[in-house]
Structure 1
Amino acid sequence: MLAEVRALSTTMPSDEFFLARQPILGRDQHLVAYELLFRAAGEHDDARLTDGAAATAAVISHASQLGLEQVVGNKLAFVNVDEDVLMADYVRFLPPNKVILEILETVKPTEPLLARVAELKRLGFKFALDDVVHHSEEVDKLLDLVDVVKVDLQGVTPDVLGHLAISLRKSGKKLLAEKVETQQEFRLCMELGFDFFQGYYFARPVILSGRKITPSEMVILYLLELINSDADDAMIETAVKRDPLISLNLLRLVNGRAAGPDSRIESVAEALTQLGRKQLRRWLQILMFAAPGSKVELNSPLLQLATTRGKLLELMSLQVRPGDVIGAERAFTAGIMSLADALFSMPMADILDNVELAADVRAALLARTGDLGAMLNLVERLEKADTGRQFTGALRKLDLTSKQVREIELAAFNWVRELVHDAA
């Protein structure tokens, strides 16, 4: 079995692949899983999606290096599998309680394959059927054995989608809409009874004409501006106290970290001292993503994506410019602010009119220029597994390797996972 893993993983050297992690949401718009995609790197100018066998072999053979817990936290991982993987013994190295094996559309439902899927189900594995665009005889043969059916929205027209959803729902299986790119597509799939959604529709800005920044949002932006301009402690404390909800959230935050009831902090001044300016800035940036007056919901996909971008850019910046802590802070700001237009439903330029940011951060957010812009562009491509020639060229300009990028990703995923855990 180990020899089998080694043989397959030679197609993807341990330091020469990229990891893409794409969120899967439930009907409540909370994260339930991630699909993991692996792309070859190294000498290939056009990094390509490896075949299913090599991709899954990489997951297994580098399990100690990647660690599914570190990559997906307490969520499930959807992992692509083809016939070679399904029939191989090494697939059993994957933890059945953490993965859903996604049967690629190229797999033919032969008798031996159906028997193998049934065997793996008895061992506790769950399955999804990938890229379904019509209800065929081959789909029917696999339907009884799978738990989730993934429908490719880019492969069907809206009128066909309705008939397909009705047909598949009769099977009692969970339906997952993939490649959902707009809010309109999401709403249609909700109406059709889909259970899960994969795509970046939640991160696409829907600009609302005449939308104004609310008073609470203005307070947060004003506080960020005070910190960025190095205002004195008294000014920051006064600004926090003007908004009771921000004061309450601040006290919740610091007391959540406190050792016990004897160390409870009751004053805003004490809370600000304990937190420090660096952490205050980050907390305010995260607080932007909470509805006014509510607790920060770290299971929000938009917030998780924004905080992950922030940490990715911070760590990339430190890799590109070691020791430049101030530059790394600006990089974090560029990452987390990059989704402000989706958050506020306003053009980015209008949002930036309300907050003072460093010139390189502003250039990255508005035009993806400069080193921060290049890093942000890299991260956006990585999210979509778009790691072709332009991606690898940008990596070379920043003098980053695939191994460094993957290590940065894992560190960022772990940081966000701990952030979610601490806030629970």
Structure 2
Amino acid sequence: MIATSLSENLAARPLRVREFFLARQPILDRSQSLVAYELLFRNAATGPANVTSDLSATASVIAHTSQLGMEKVIGDSLGYLNVDAAVLMSDIFQFLPREKVVLEIVETMKVTPEILARIAQLVEEGFRFALDDVITDSEEVQQLLPLVETIKFDLRDMPLSALLKLTPQFKLANKKLLAEKVETQEQFETCMKLGFDFFQGYYFAKPLILSGKKLSPSQLAVMQLMAQLNSDADTVDIERSVKQDVSLCFNLLRLVNTPAAGTRRRIDSVSQALLLLGRNQLQRWLQIMLYAEPCKKGQNMTPLLTLAATRGKLLELIAHQIEPRNRNMADTAFTVGIMSLMDTLFSIPMTEILEQVAVVDEVSEALLHREGVYGAMLSLAEHMERIEEAGPMLDELVDRFQLTSDNLYSLQISAFEWGDTVARTAH
């Protein structure tokens, strides 16, 4: 046995959640629906060099995460977690909800008879496995193949010729194929043609600018209403604008009555929404509506909506942490977070979007150049999403806002939970 007991492991090297940065990276299926997240941990105590390959340390964080409630981190999705020999031989699995996790066997792990027996035992107990970063069909891969459901390919490490050679073999063996580090639409389309089942990477959040692209009438109506709110128009005029568009009126009232809006009583009219929510909150729900609209037409944009809502909430919570009494700063931070993906949503350059919605200079500087305090908050959120590539900049940004990794972890959990609730109820 490599590590007989997790408690012994923790006693030998006490670790707490607060010593880690956490990221969750979306995994989409062929219809572009969100199905899972890979959870990545980076050891904050040892600095940027360690995207924690010390998986026995990660095991303690997994234990904490499970005890805190893994559903807060992954919502209704599955969670992919990396495991090495030490974790496999430990008693971590009593903490893990087997129906909610897929265990990724890391490529550096040496395959021994003991390891194969342990994986077989865990499969018997209902755990599912994926094989990470496969680059060949080596003897070790062949040994593990009967025990795993999913094969992961890292597109950064795989030439197309190798993908073309390997994918048919694994498809024949009835394995699910997952492409990770999918960064462009072109890579996604190539993997679709090769029959991949799942896609991990931020290709869905990259703007694909289409020349001459125009906003739909309903998007235009929402943008015009946001412009009215920004210019302090009379409440009567705002109400009139909302009521002119029946679907806008209906969707707005539906959204402001969801749990994520946090209202205690039911809102039945636009005037009541304005009264109870206030203009800043109304602005927020209009921004969310823009992302939710494609879902109504059967185009599943949930990953983008989830990412935008989570980003907006995280920035709002960071602003609140910095200046607890400055409500305006928190509202502005939310706007920066949620607007940061609108160029992707509309396939229009951010400069053109900002010509249609008047925003304060601080917001446009943040969105266009990642400058100013809001730009730094947005950079922090983006670095957290891509934690394994973040480098020293992440630590500098965390220091700038005087956040501990413990602070950031609890803010992230709140943002994850809120973003997931919004995405679920926006359909």
Question: What is the TM-score when the length of structure 1 is the normalising length?
Answer: 0.92
Match of 1:173 among 159, 172, 175: 175
Alignment-mate amino acid for residue 182 of structure 2 = V
Assess if the C-alpha contact under 8 Å between 2:111 and 2:140 holds in 1: yes
Q: Counterpart of 1:288 in 2: which secondary structure?
A: helix
Deviation at residue 43 of structure 1 after TM alignment: 5.3
Question: What is the aligned partner in structure 2 of residue 27 from structure 1?
Answer: 30
CA distance in 1, matches of 2:101, 2:291: 29
Q: Which runs of 5+ in 2 are unaligned?
A: none
Question: What is the aligned partner in structure 1 of residue 339 from structure 2?
Answer: 337
Question: What is the aligned partner in structure 1 of residue 323 from structure 2?
Answer: 321
Q: Deviations over 1:124-177 (max 9, x none)?
A: 111010011222221111110001111111111123212211111011011111
Stretch deviating more after TM superposition (387-396 or 287-296): 287-296
Q: Deviations over 1:307-364 (max 9, x none)?
A: 0000000000111122110110000000000001111111111111100112111110
Match of 1:204 among 203, 206, 222: 206
Among the aligned pairs, what percent are the same residue? 48
Deviation at residue 225 of structure 1 after TM alignment: 1.4
Alignment-mate amino acid for residue 3 of structure 1 = S
Q: Counterpart of 1:108 in 2: which secondary structure?
A: coil
Find out whether 1:311 has 2:313 as its counterpart: yes
Assess if the C-alpha contact under 8 Å between 2:6 and 2:91 holds in 1: no
Q: Counterpart of 2:24 in 1: which secondary structure?
A: strand
What count of residue pairs does the alignment treat as equivalent?
418
Question: What is the aligned partner in structure 2 of residue 147 from structure 1?
Answer: 149
Question: What is the aligned partner in structure 2 of residue 222 from structure 1?
Answer: 224
CA distance in 2, matches of 1:139, 1:238: 64
Deviation at residue 288 of structure 1 after TM alignment: 0.8
CA distance in 2, matches of 1:223, 1:372: 24
Assess if the C-alpha contact under 8 Å between 1:35 and 1:79 holds in 2: yes
Question: What is the aligned partner in structure 1 of residue 408 from structure 2?
Answer: 405
Assess if the C-alpha contact under 8 Å between 1:48 and 1:388 holds in 2: no
Find out whether 1:95 has 2:97 as its counterpart: yes
Cα pair distance change 1:84/1:58, threshold 3 Å: same
Question: What is the aligned partner in structure 2 of residue 159 from structure 1?
Answer: 161
Alignment-mate amino acid for residue 10 of structure 2 = R
Write the mapping of 1:103-114 to structure 2, written as runs, cut at 5 A.
Answer: 103-114=105-116
CA distance in 2, matches of 1:5, 1:422: 41
Match of 1:3 among 1, 7, 13: 7
Alignment-mate amino acid for residue 64 of structure 1 = Q
Find out whether 1:193 has 2:199 as its counterpart: no
Q: Tell me how large the CA RMSD over aligned residues is.
A: 2.4
Stretch deviating more after TM superposition (72-81 or 395-404): 395-404
CA distance in 1, matches of 2:370, 2:342: 15
Alignment-mate amino acid for residue 75 of structure 1 = S
Cα pair distance change 1:231/1:148, threshold 3 Å: same
Assess if the C-alpha contact under 8 Å between 1:105 and 1:129 holds in 2: yes
Deviation at residue 398 of structure 1 after TM alignment: 1.8
Deviation at residue 278 of structure 1 after TM alignment: 3.2
Deviation at residue 295 of structure 1 after TM alignment: 7.2
Q: Deviations over 1:50-105 (max 9, x none)?
A: 3222212321145334x211100121110000011111223332221111110000
Assess if the C-alpha contact under 8 Å between 1:290 and 1:296 holds in 2: no
Deviation at residue 419 of structure 1 after TM alignment: 2.7
Q: Which runs of 5+ in 1 are unaligned?
A: none
Question: What is the TM-score when the length of structure 2 is the normalising length?
Answer: 0.91
CA distance in 2, matches of 1:334, 1:313: 8
